[in-house]
Structure 1
Amino acid sequence: MENSLKQRIDAWLDQDYRLVFYERITLCREAEAMFRHLPPALAYAKTFAYLLENITVEYETQGMFVGKVKQIIPTDEERRAASALYSRWWDMPLEEFQKTAYFCYSFKKNSREWLASRPPWLITQGHLSFQWKELAENGLSYFEKRAQDRLARENDPEARQYLEGICLSIQAIQNYILRYAQVAGEHGDPARQELLQRLSCQPPETLFEALQLILLVMLSIKRTISYDAPCMGRIDQYLLPFYERDIAAGRLTREQALSMIEEFLFKDMEGAALYDHMSPDSLETEVRLDVSGEDVPYFIVGGRTLDGVSCVNPLSHLFVEAIDELHMLKAPVIIVRTFNGIEEDFFQKVCKAMADNASLYVYNDETQIPAFIYYGIAPEDAEQYCMFSCNNPTIPTKMGSLRQIWFNLAIPLELALNRGVPFAETGKPRPEKTCEFALGDRLMGMMESGYYGVDTGALEDMRSMEDFLAAYSAQLRYLLAQLRQGLQADGAVEREANRGRMRIEDCFLEGTVENACDWVTGGTKYHQFMVNGGGLATVVDSLYAIEQLVFVQKQLTLPQLAEILRNDFSGQELLLRRLQNKMNKFGNDIPEVDRYAKVVVDLFTQAIQEQNRPEYLYTLMGEISTLRDFSTEGWYVGATPNGRKAGEPLSENQSPCTGADMEGLTAMLNSVSSIPFYHITGGPLNLRIHPSVINGPDGIQKLSALFRTYFENGGMQLQISVVDSETLRQAQREPEKYKNLTVRVTGYNAYFTHMGREAQDEMIRRTEHGAF
C-alpha cells in the first residue's frame, strides 16, 4: 500500500462522527417546494437533478480519483431543524406509511433514522445490482439513448412521465460529471478535464477510466438519494478486458493495477461513517442525519460456469490482495465465489485475507446455483448470481430490491406443542384476525404480534416423532400461507401507490425501461421475497430433546413436557440443567442431532415452495438468517425443549446455540454442512477463531484445507473474525487503542469500538474456537 493512501486511511479512521453532508438536507427542503407537486417520476428526477446541480464539487489533489461531497458538523439548531423536517415527512399512520414509502417487508425498528432522512418522494431502497457491465462497456449515453428510444414509442401519459424521469436522471449524472470537468480545468488540470468531459458521455477506454466512471456514478446516487448495500456485480469479469488491454499496451503493470484497485476500494468508502447501523444504543448511530450511512458496497469475484469452468482471473487475485492490504477497513466487502476444484493458490490467498480479518466472505457455487434454480431462476441467470448486504442474494440487473421477513422457526414449534395457541395465551379466546401477519409486522419484517396456528390435535395422540414432526410441518405451512395472504394484500396497495413512480435504480436495470414501469410493479424479470428462517439450532436441539425424553427414554410424556414449558421450567431446575448441559447439541458432529437440521430445513423450504405459483409476482426464497435479531426473536417465544427459558435469545443465523459447540471447528462445520443448503439462497455462518489456531508456518494451509472440506461437504457460506475474547474486552476498556479492530457481524463488518455495548457483549459471548 502506498504511504499516502495509508495516511488518508488513518485520517479517515479519526474522523468526527458528527460530520454530515448537510447541503443535501437544505437542498431537499428547497426542492420540496419546487417539485413535490409534480407527477411522481418528474418530482423524483427534478429533485435529483437539483441536488446534483447545486451541491459543492469538492476537488481533491490527493489520490488518483476525484469525487467527494462537502461535510460539516452542524450546529444544534441545524440538527434540530433537520430532525423536525424528517418528522414532518414521516410521522404518519402505518397505513399511510405503507403507501408513501411504497415498499414493505424491509423497514425495521433500528432503521427508523435510516428511512427518515429520505424525502418521501425521493426514495431508493438499494440492495440490488446495476448494469455495471453495460456502463463500463458503453458509458452513460447508452442508458440515455435506451430511455429516449423507448420514450419515442410510448403514448401512455404516465409511462411517458416515467421515461422522461429516467432520461432526466441520467442527464443529471452526466452534468454532475461535467461539473467536475469544469472544476478540473479551473485547477489547471486539462488532462483530467478532458477525461471527465469524455466520461460524461462516452465509454471508458482504460481500467482507470472505468473505475473513475463507476465511482462518480456511485457518488452521485449514494450521497444524494442513497444506494444502500450496492451490489457491484462480478467486477473481476466485466473489468477484465480493460485490464488485459492495458497490460498488453504497456500502459499498466500488475503492481500499478493493485495500487489503483486499493485506491478505488478506499475511495468508494471515503464518505462513509464509522458507526454500526445495527447498534441503536450507540450515540453515533443516534445522531446520524445522512442518507447514505455506512455505504457498504459488495464486489463479487471468482465463481465458475454452469459447466464447471473456473472464472478466476488475474483481477480476482488483485481484488483479494487489495482487500487484504486494506484489512483495517470495515468495508467494502469482497464476496468470493468458491467451487469444487477452485485453484489452490487463489483459495489460500482468500484464506489468508480472512485470517487477516479482511472484509471478505466466501459463498459456494455448488449450493448457491442449485438453490436459485430450485426457486425458478433460469440456469444461465443462476450462474451469474451475486450477493449483497447481510448475505442476501440477487440476480444482477434482472432482479429488484430486497424484500424480506424474519420467519421465526421456533414459533411453529411452540404452536405444535399447544394445539396452535401461544403458551402465553393458553385458555384465552382466540382473537379475530384477517391475517396472522399484522401490517406492522409485515412492514418491519418481524413476527411480534402473537401468532396463532392451526389445531394439530391432542398431544396424547402423537405416538411417534413422525407424528410430532407432522404437527410442526402443519404449523409451518399455515404460517407461510398466512404470509402469502398478507403479501398479496399488500401487492394490491403497492400497485396503486406506485402508479407513475420511479426510482433511480430503474435507470440501470434490465426490463424497467423496456416495460416502462419500476421493478416493484413488475419491470424486472425476477421478483424475490426472502423468508429468513431464524432460530434453526434452537429448533434442532429442541426436536432432538423431544425425541430422547419422550419417544426414546420415555421419561416424560409429550403433554407433561408441554406443561413444563408453559410454566417456563418452574420447579424443574434439575430437568432444566440436564437439557442445558447433558443433552447432545447441534454443532458437535453428532449425526443423531444433526439430522434434524435437514428435517427442519426440508420442511421449511417445501412449505415455502407451496406458496410459489405462476400467478404470484413475488417468489418466496428460503434463507437461514437472523441478522442481529436472534435476541429480539427470542422475546416472542416461550420456553423451548432444549433448555432455553421464555424470552431468551434464539440461536444466531446458521450457528449452533451459544456455547453448545464444544468439539472444535471441524465438528461444528461438519454439523452445519448437514443443512440442505441447495434449497437455501443466503444467510451467514459466523466463526470466531482464536489467533493461535492459525499461527505458525502451516496455519493458513490448515485453514484452507478445513474450509475446502466444509464447502465440498455442502457448506454454503463462511465469514470469520480472528480475535480472542481478551482482546475484545481490552478494546472495551481502552477503545482509543483499538480503533481499527474489525469484526464480522452478519453480512457486514463493524469497528468493534463503534458498536453499542450490547452488540459488543454479544460478540464476546460467541464461541471462541481454539482448535481445529
Structure 2
Amino acid sequence: MKYQQRMKRLVERKIQQTREKLSALGARDEDDYGLVLPPEGFVPELPVRDENGSFAGAYAWGKNFRYLMENHPVYIDPDDALAGRWMFMLSRMRLGYKLYRSNFAFDYSDLVPLQEKYDITSGIGKDAHFAPDYGIGLSLGWGGLLDKARASLEKFGGDPVAKELFEAEIDAIEGIQCWIRHLALAARDRSMTEDEPERKRNLVEMAQLCSRLVSEPPETLREACQWIAIFNMASRTYNRDGAGGQLDELLRPYYERDLAAGRIDDEDAEFFLFCLLLNDPHYYQLGGPGEDGRDMTSPLSFLILEAAAKLKSSCNLTIRVHDGMDRRLFRRGVEILLENKLGYPRFSGDKALVAGFMKNGYSAALARKRIATGCNWMSLPGLEYTLNDVVKINIAKVFEVAFQETAEEAAPSLKKLEACYIRHFHLAVETVMKGIDFHLAHQYRNEPELLLNLLSHGPLEKGLDVSHGGAEFYNMALDGAGLAVVADSFAAIEQFVEQEKSVSWSELAEQLRADFQLSGGEMLRKKLLSGDRFGRGGGRGDFWAVRLTEILDQEVAGKRTPAGYRMIPGWFSWADTVRFGKSVGATPNGRRAHTPISHGANPNPGFRKDHALTAMARAIASVQPGYGNTAPWQLELDIGYAKTDRAVENLMALMEAHFELGGTLININIVDAEKILAAHANPELYPDLIVRVTGFSAYFTSLSREFRQLVVDRLIREAV
C-alpha cells in the first residue's frame, strides 16, 4: 500500500506522455516505446555526417552516440524508483532513413529486381533483432565493460577494423557513463528542492545508486533494475533494440540477497519491478525449463507478474509453458490476462520449440536456453545472431506472380500453378539468402552493434562485430507472410475453377486484374469468399495451408546460404500485413486489391462462426514450420469469455491443447467488443486502452486507423 499512490501517478504520467507523443509524432504502428519527448527546442546536432546527411561505420556511430549520451536531457521523476527516460533514436537520425537503400552504403542493386518482384523484406542493413546476455553487464558493470573494451583494443589494435570498432565501443561506454553521472546529479539537485519526505529520500537514494553504477556492478535488486533500465534506454537510443531476457532468473540472486539481509520486503521488490517494466516495454520471459530441464519458476516470477498486473500500461512478458512447470504461474498469468484485458502475458510452448530447434542439430540443453525475447522470436541470449522478424517473403505476392504466369498458358491447371508457385518461391528464397550473405559481409561497416556487442559472448573476445563473425551461432530467420490468403486462393481455384467449373481461368484472371469491378465481379467475389477456407477443419483450405508449410520447409529448413549460414523458417507478418497487402492485387479467395494480407499463421477473419477457437488451435498448430522459430496464434476474444464460468481453466486447457499439437506462441487480447468499436471510431476518448497488435502491445490510440481495423477484424465474439 505504501507505493500505491506513486504507482498511480506514474501511470497517469505515462498516459499523458503517450498523448503528447501522439500529438507531436502522429500514429505509430509499432511498439509502445518508453520514449518521452525531449524538452521543447532541444535539437541535437550530431558531429559526424556525410555529404548526404547520413553516417556509417564504427567511428561515426561511436562519436554520434557518445555525443547523444553526453548531451542527452535528463529525466527524473521523484515517484520513480529508477532514473531516466530515453528521447532519441540514433538509427532514425540519419537523413532519409526511411528510404531504405539510401542508408546502406554498399551496392546490392543486382538483388533489387527480384526483391521487388516478390515483395521481399531482405533484412539488409537491419539492426538488432537478437538478444543480449544481461548477465555479462550485471556482473561487470560499466567500469568492467570499459576495461574489457580497452583490453580488446590493446589485443586487436594492430587490425585497423578492430581498432576502429573498439575505439567506438569505448566511446559508447564512456558516453553512457557520462549520462549516468548527469542522472545522478539531476536526482541530487531535485532532492534539494523536494519537500515531501518520501520523495526526498527516494531522490537521494536514486542519486547514490546512479553514482555507484557509473563504474561498479549492481549489488542490490534496485541497482540491478536500474542497470538493466540504463542499458535498455541506451540500446533503444542507439538502434531501437528491444530484446530482453529471462528476467526472473537474472534478478533472482539480487532479490534473494536483499530479502535475506532485510534490506527489502516483497512490496519494495514489486515496486522496483513495476518501475523497470514501466521504463520501457522490453520483451522478457518468465518461468520455463533451465538447461537441465528443471523449472525456473521462483517467488520472483510471481512478483514480476504482480508488478505487471499493477502496471496498467503496455508490457511484453511471456510465460514459458512446459510439462514440469509450476502451474500456479501459468494460472496466475491467465488470471491477469483475463482480469486486466491488456494483452499480457503471452504464452510460449516449450515442447515444440525445444524439439524444433534440436532438428537443426543442437542439444536439448541449448534449445532450452533459446527463450522468447521479441515479437515472435526466440533467441539464445548473447550467443546467437538471427535477424529475427525482419527477413520476410510476401507469399501472396509470389502467388500473384505464379497465378498470372499460369493463367496466360494455353492450358492452365492447378497442378501447373502449384509447380509455378514452387519455382518462384525457390527464386525468392535464393534471393533472400544472397541478401543475408550481403548483409553479413557489409553490416559491420554500415552499422556495427556497439551496444549489443558488449553483452554478447564473442565480439570483444574475437575482435569482430557480432554481425561479422563475432557471434557463436548464426541461425538466420526467414518468415513467410500471407499464408491464409494463398491457402484460401489455392482452395478457391480447386473448388470453383477445376471441380465445379463455375468460372474459367481466363474469367477469373480478368476479374482479378479489374479488382472484381467488371460485370458479375461482385457476385463472383462473394462466391469465392464462400469457398472452403483454412481453419474450417479437414477441408482443402487446411490442406493447402499445410502444403504451403511443407514448401516453406523444403526450401528453407536445413538449408544454408551460399556463404554457409543456417536458415530457419517461420510464419509471421508482424505489423506488415497492411504494407504487404498494398503490393498485391485482388486474389482468388475474394480479397480485394491492395487490402491487408492475412496475419501470420492465422486463418483469414471470419473463416468460420462456430467453434472458431478450437478450429484455430488445430489449424495454426498444423502449420508450424517446426524448426525452433514460431508461427504465433494471434487471438482476439470478446470480454464475454472472461465472464464465463471456468474461463481460466478453459483458456489454460485451450492453450495446452494447442501446445500439445505443436503450437509455439500465443498472443491474446481480451477486449470489450463494444468498447473497441467505440474506440476505433473515437480513439481520443479512450487514452488508456491497450491492445496486443501482434507480437507487441500498444495504446490503441497510438495506432493508425488501418491498424486499429486489423484488431477489430480479428475479434471473435462467440462465447466459449
1:485 corresponds to 2:485: no
* Aligned equivalents of 2:528, 2:387: Cα separation in 1: 38
| Preserved CA contact (<8 Å) 2:48 2:55 | no
- Output the amino acid matched with 2:45: C
Q: Distance in 1 between matches of 2:54 and 2:515?
A: 56
Matching of residues 731-770 of structure 1 within 5 Å: 731-770=679-718
Q: Does 1:603 align with 2:609?
A: no
Provide closer, same or farther for how the CA distance between residues 191 and 547 of structure 1 changes in structure 2, counting only shifts above 3 A.
Answer: closer
Alpha-carbon spacing, 1:190–1:376, altered in 2? closer, same or farther (3 Å): same
- Counterpart of 1:89 in 2: which secondary structure? coil
Paired position in structure 2 for 1:625: 572
Q: How far did 1:749 drift?
A: 1.5
Aligned pair count?
A: 672
Q: What is aligned with 2:657?
A: 709
Partner of 1:242: 254
Matched, 1:151 2:153: yes
2:535, 2:619 within 8 Å by CA — same for their partners in 1? Answer: yes
1:320 to 305, 318, 324: 305
Query: Offset at 1:563?
Result: 6.4
Query: Which residue matches 1:99?
Result: 105
1:615-694 paired onto structure 2 within 5 Å: 616=563, 618-663=565-610, 664-679=612-627, 681-694=629-642
User: Are the counterparts in 2 of residues 419 and 458 from structure 1 also a CA contact under 8 Å?
Assistant: no
Pick from 169, 177, 182 the counterpart of residue 180 of structure 2: 177
Aligned partner of 2:32 in structure 1 is none
Q: Distance in 2 between matches of 1:491 and 1:70?
A: 30
Q: What is aligned with 1:576?
A: 525
Q: Counterparts of 1:14 and 1:264 in 2: how far apart (Å)?
A: 19
The offset of 1:528, in angstroms, is: 4.4
- In structure 1, the partner of 2:70 is 53
Following TM superposition, by how much is the alpha carbon of 1:234 offset from its aligned partner in structure 2, in angstroms?
0.7
Report the Cα distance in structure 1 between the residues aligned to 2:513 and 2:210, rounded to whole angstroms.
Answer: 68
- Mapped contact 2:635–2:666 kept (Cα < 8 A): yes
Aligned to 2:326: 343
Give the structure 2 partner of residue 406 of structure 1: 392
How far off its partner does 1:689 sit? 1.0
Q: Distance in 2 between matches of 1:132 and 1:88?
A: 28
- Aligned counterpart for 1:721 among listed residues 669, 676, 679: 669
Once the two structures are superposed, the pairs formed by residues 257-276 of structure 1 within 5 Å of their partners are: 257-266=269-278, 268-269=279-280
Offset, 1:375: 4.5
Going from structure 1 to structure 2, the CA distance change for 1:668 and 1:48 (only over 3 Å counts) comes to closer
Unaligned runs of 5+ in 2: 25-35, 117-124, 193-202
Cross-structure match for 2:495: 548
1:646/1:376 Cα in 2 relative to 1: closer, same or farther (>3 Å)? farther
Cα distance in 1 between the residues matched to 2:204 and 2:12: 31
Deviations 1:329-351 (A, max 9, x none): 02x31122222343322111111
Match of 1:251 in 2: 263
Paired residue for 1:140, among 134, 139, 142? 142
Q: CA deviation at 1:742?
A: 0.9
Identity, % of aligned positions: 26
For the residues of structure 2 that align with 1:659 and 1:92, how far apart are their CA atoms?
35
> Partner of 1:446 in structure 2?
none
Greater CA drift, 124-133 or 532-541: 124-133
> Could you tell me how far 1:601 is from its partner in structure 2?
0.7
1:522 lines up with 2:469 in the alignment? yes
Q: CA deviation at 1:577?
A: 2.5
Residue 210 of structure 2: aligned partner: 196
CA distance in 2, matches of 1:95, 1:593: 38
Indicate how the Cα distance of structure 1 residues 588 and 353 shifts in structure 2: closer, same or farther if over 3 A, else same: farther
Per the TM alignment, residue 755 of structure 1 is displaced from its structure 2 partner at its CA by: 2.1
Return the letter of the residue paired with 1:329.
S
Q: Residues 459 and 558 of structure 1 are in contact (CA less than 8 Å); yes or no, is this contact kept in structure 2?
A: no
What TM-score does the superposition give when structure 1 sets the normalisation length? 0.78
Structure 1 residues 143 and 644, CA, compared in 2 at 3 Å: closer, same or farther?
same
Write the distance in 2 (CA, Å) between the matches of 1:92 and 1:668: 36
TM-fit CA distance, 1:322: 1.8
Whole-Å Cα distance in 1 between the matches of residues 477 and 14 of structure 2? Answer: 35
**Matched residue SS, 1:533:** strand
Q: Give the equivalent residue in structure 2 for 1:128.
A: 130
Aligned-partner Cα distance in 2 for 1:92–1:736: 28
Contact 2:184 2:208 in 1 (8 A): yes
Q: Alpha-carbon deviation of 1:262? A: 1.4
**Counterpart Cα distance in 1 of 2:43 and 2:286:** 39
Q: In the TM superposition, what is the alpha-carbon distance from 1:309 to its structure 2 partner? A: 2.5
Partner of 1:534: 481
Deviations 1:289-323 (A, max 9, x none): xxxxxxx4111112224654222222222222221
Say which SS state the counterpart of residue 153 (structure 1) adopts: helix
Paired with 1:194 and 1:88, the residues of 2 have a C-alpha distance of 36
- The separation in 1 between residues aligned to 2:326 and 2:625, in whole angstroms, is 23
Contact 1:124 1:226 in 2 (8 A): no
In structure 2, relative to structure 1, the CA distance for the partners of 1:49 and 1:474 (3 Å cut) is: closer
Q: Which residue of 1 aligns with 2:198?
A: none
Deviations 1:643-671 (Å, cap 9, x if unpaired)?
33444432222221122232231222222
SS at match of 1:678: coil
Separation of aligned partners in 1, 2:334 and 2:368: 24
Cα drift, residue 231 of structure 1: 1.3
Query: Partners in 2 of 1:59 and 1:306 — Cα distance?
Result: 39
- What per-residue deviation string (whole Å, max 9, x for no partner) do you get for residues 173-193 of structure 1? 234333444455554676555
1:681 positional shift: 1.2
- Partners of 1:586 and 1:347 in 2: CA distance: 30
**Is the contact between residue 24 and residue 51 of structure 1 (CA under 8 Å) also seen in structure 2?**
no
8 Å CA contact retained: 2:571, 2:601? yes
Aligned-partner Cα distance in 2 for 1:486–1:37 = 22
Matched residue SS, 1:679: coil
Q: Counterparts of 1:541 and 1:523 in 2: how far apart (Å)?
A: 43
Q: How does 1:4-19 map to 2 (within 5 A)?
A: 4-15=6-17, 16-17=20-21, 18=24
In the TM superposition, residue 602 of structure 1 has moved relative to its aligned partner by 1.5
The Cα shift of 1:715 comes to 1.6
What is the SS of the residue equivalent to 1:226? helix
CA distance in 1, matches of 2:701, 2:55: 45
After superposition, the C-alpha distances for 1:611-639 in whole angstroms (9 at most, x for unaligned) are 515x5254333221222332333333344
The CA deviation at 1:600 is: 0.9
The whole-number CA distance in structure 1 between the counterparts of 2:399 and 2:668 is 31
How far apart are residue 739 of structure 1 and its match? 1.3
- Counterpart amino acid of residue 209 in structure 1: E
| 1:166-225 CA distance string (max 9 Å, x none) | 233223323433344445555467655543333222222221221122222333443xx3
Q: Secondary structure at the match of 1:99?
A: coil
* Conservation of the 8 A alpha-carbon contact between 2:354 and 2:628: no
Aligned to 1:64, what secondary structure does the other structure show? coil
AA partner of residue 659 (structure 2): F
Q: Please list the CA deviations of residues 527-577 of structure 1 after superposition, one character each: whole Å capped at 9, or x if unmatched.
A: 344322111112222233334345655666767766665665544655433
- 1:434-513 correspondence runs (5 A): 459=411, 469-489=418-438, 494=443, 497-498=445-446, 503-513=450-460
Aligned ranges for residues 279-428 of structure 1 at < 5 Å? 296-305=281-290, 308-326=293-311, 328-330=312-314, 332-355=315-338, 356-358=340-342, 359-375=344-360, 379-400=364-385, 402=387, 404-419=390-405
Q: C-alpha separation between the residues in 1 aligned to 2:149 and 2:441?
A: 27
Change in Cα spacing, 1:638 to 1:93, as seen in structure 2 (3 Å) is closer
Cα deviation for residue 229 of structure 1 reads 4.3
Structure 1 pair 382/735, CA: closer, same or farther in 2 (3 Å)? same
8 Å CA contact retained: 1:390, 1:683: no
**Structure 1 stretches lacking a partner, 5+ long:** 72-81, 110-122, 270-295, 427-456
Q: 1:62 to 1:619 in 2, by over 3 A?
A: same
**Is the 2:49–2:55 Cα contact (8 Å) retained in structure 1?**
no
SS at match of 2:557: helix
Kept after mapping to 2: 8 A contact 1:659/1:767 = no
